Amino acid sequence: MRVKKRLLYAVIAGLNAVSLTAALALTIAGSSIARTQSYNRAAQKWDRDGESSQISCYFSDDAGFTTDGVYALRAHLNKTLQDAVSRPDGKTPEIPDAYSTPIGSDLITGDNTGQGEAELTAVGGEFFLFRDFRLLSGAYFSDRDLMQDGAVIERSLAWTLYGSANVAGQNIYIGGVQFYIAAVIDDPTDKYQKRTINELPRVYVSYKGAEQLPSARYSSQEQGYGGYTGGDAPAQLRKVSCYECIMYDPVENFAYSTVNKYLKDMYKGKYKAVNNTKRFTSSAMVKAYKKRSDYAVRKDTITYPYWENASRIAEFKISPLYYIRRLCFVIPALTSVWLLWVLFCLAKKGGKALISTISDKYTKAAYSRRQKKDNI
């Protein structure tokens, strides 16, 4: 009988060891994949105290979300946060944000003979705060710059145009319009990002700079805006397909709920909001696993940028790992319940024995006292 019990205990211990080891291995594998998607950690870079969340929103082509929508959303977020947070200094936490949209491809030339085609993206706000680009030379531009004719280009394009990555300050020409190279960044190196991009290098310009491009003006004419010659940019040149912000979270999910509720009222079914900060948590990955069919069968017309597509691939890879990891805890959980029951039974049995012992001692002591009293 004792041999059988020992064998049973050994089997239970072995199963628990295997389950916990598997859970640890799956955790390490999932975490290593999640770490490759560092663009999701912009909030941690901005707020070292971990009190803020990064929220990203992606819009369909027919959503009609423009730079005017960005300004309206900014005002709403600041007002909501101001009403929700009371600080002794009376200041409301900043909400850095960014917005962008792809504007096609064009021929890029330099002052030398080099030339090459590249994909163009119009960006605004603190766009480069949210990216995990590796800066090789120069400095990023922002909305605060007086002149908006800067461009950030990738290393492969810099080598095509000038034979070097250290070319910040040099000129480039996009469709004949002159820009200066504000910064050179490395080409995407993450394997998931590589799977979501084409062979063309990328160039990032400001929205103001994009208004000067002939290709953008031609595109807006195609959309029925007539001959654009300057002044207020038509809606096609103010289009925003990606909006991102970092917002202080006084309570859990406050930032995500605030952004999502505002957009849901006006753009329902035409946008997708993501809480990047909590994207790769265990609970989020288990939910993602249950919705894996959404990755295969798209029900919207949203075109995601390559960095978001890379993170979606990572989600697809990680979600089954975390789902299986949760199953690995079933045996340890059942073992814990069994051990608690055994301890309860032992405690109950021991408690009865203890009560009986105390009762016997009390009875003997009382009997002894009575005998002494009778002898006296």
What is the distance between the alpha carbons of residues 134 and 130, in angstroms, rounded to a whole number?
12
pLDDT greater at residue 3 or residue 161? 161
What confidence tens digit (pLDDT) does each residue in 318-357 have?
888 888 888 888 888 888 888 888 788 877 776 555 556 5
What pairing do the DSSP bridges indicate for beta strands 177-185 and 150-154?
parallel
What is the distance between the alpha carbons of residues 79 and 92, in angstroms, rounded to a whole number?
9
At 217, the pLDDT band (50, 70, 90 cuts) reads low
Instruction: Give DSSP secondary structure letters for 193-250.
Output: HHTT--SS-EEEEEHHHHTT-HHHHHHHIIIII----SSSPPGGGSB-SEEEEEEE-S
What is the distance between the alpha carbons of residues 10 and 304, in angstroms, rounded to a whole number?
52
Q: Please provide the average confidence, as pLDDT, over all residues in the chain.
A: 84
Per-domain residue ranges for the chain?
Answer: 1-36+280-327, 39-277
What is the distance between the alpha carbons of residues 100 and 121, in angstroms, rounded to a whole number?
7
For position 148, what pLDDT does the model report?
Answer: 86
Instruction: Give DSSP secondary structure letters for 263-292.
Output: HHHHHTTSEEEEEGGGTTSHHHHHHHHHTT
What is the distance between the alpha carbons of residues 306 and 314, in angstroms, rounded to a whole number?
12
Alpha-carbon distances, residue 111 vs 93, 161, 169, 214 (angstroms): 45, 8, 12, 19
Alpha-carbon distances, residue 12 vs 328, 333, 335 (angstroms): 14, 12, 8
- Which range has the top average pLDDT, 7-11, 121-125, 197-201, 346-350? 121-125
Return the closest-CA partner of residue 185 out of 133, 116, 234, 110. 133
For position 147, what pLDDT does the model report?
Answer: 84
What confidence tens digit (pLDDT) does each residue in 180-215 have?
999 999 999 888 888 888 889 999 999 999 988 876
Q: How far from chain centre, in Å, is Cα 91?
A: 27
Q: Is there a contact between 211 and 103 (Cβ–Cβ < 8 Å)?
A: no
What confidence tens digit (pLDDT) does each residue in 250-294 have?
888 899 999 999 999 889 889 999 999 999 888 888 887 777 666
What confidence tens digit (pLDDT) does each residue in 31-76 have?
888 888 888 999 998 988 889 999 999 999 889 899 999 999 999 9
What pairing do the DSSP bridges indicate for beta strands 150-154 and 202-206?
antiparallel
Q: Region 108-119: what's the mean pLDDT? A: 90
Candidate from 6-10, 45-49, 148-152, 372-376 with smallest mean pLDDT: 372-376
The single-letter code of the amino acid at 120 is: L
What is the distance between the alpha carbons of residues 46 and 40, in angstroms, rounded to a whole number?
12
For position 200, what pLDDT does the model report?
Answer: 93
Greatest C-alpha distance within the chain: 126
What is the distance between the alpha carbons of residues 173 and 169, in angstroms, rounded to a whole number?
13
Q: What percent of the chain has pLDDT over 70?
A: 82
What is the distance between the alpha carbons of residues 258 and 242, in angstroms, rounded to a whole number?
17
What pairing do the DSSP bridges indicate for beta strands 202-206 and 115-125?
parallel
For position 229, what pLDDT does the model report?
Answer: 43
Q: What residues does 177 pair with on adjacent strands?
A: 174
Q: What residues does 171 pair with on adjacent strands?
A: 180
**How many C-beta atoms lie closer than 10 Å to residue 3's C-beta?**
7
